Amino acid sequence: MPGIDECLLEAMALPGARGAALVDWSSGLALGTAGDSPVGDHETTAAETAELARAAAEYESFAPSEAEQISGGGTPSGPPVEDLIVTTRTGYHVLRFVETSFDSSVFLHLWLDRTEGNLALARHRLRSLAEGLVLR
């Protein structure tokens, strides 16, 4: 099971990966980073993506309905959103929420080049990385 650094290095091995970070969306702080940042500063990127993640995790519009909660076996431990994808003219930003044994307020952020990246592969790989991530 990979730790933060190993997880980010594996994310950077994806085709078209430009940058990756593990971010705490409640504080907006990067817990780890690899590669480049879209704005040249990982802390700024972490704070900005945390705002987006916080909105998605806290807004009622994205919460599961009662029927989904019942069929899914109750209330999930983490945010109701699995991932977010923001598409820009030159890239993709994939934010994958990570369920943890504490408050589940972290997510993986992967920045992909739009021409070289494979969005489906990135989503699949980030899901695996998030499930195997060990936070120490």
Model confidence, pTM:
0.86
d(CA 45, CA 120): 23
Q: What is the pLDDT of residues 123-134, one digit of tens each?
A: 999 999 999 987
Q: Which pLDDT score, from 0 to 100, does residue 1 have?
A: 47
3-class DSSP state of 20: strand
Q: What is the mean pLDDT of residues 13-29?
A: 96
**Domain residue ranges of the chain, discontinuous segments joined by +:** 4-132
Residue 46 vs residue 72, higher pLDDT: 46
Q: Using alpha carbons only, what angle is made at residue 16 by residues 11 and 19, rounded to the nearest 5 degrees?
A: 50
Proportion of the chain above pLDDT 90, given as a percent? 71
126, 8 in Cβ contact below 8 A? no
Count the residues in the chain. Answer: 136
Residue 128 to residues 8, 40, 89, 131, Cα–Cα distance (Å):
12, 28, 27, 5
Q: What is the pLDDT of residues 51-100, one digit of tens each?
A: 999 999 888 888 766 555 555 555 555 677 899 999 999 999 999 999 88
Instruction: Tell me which CATH code domain 4-132 carries.
Output: 3.30.450.30
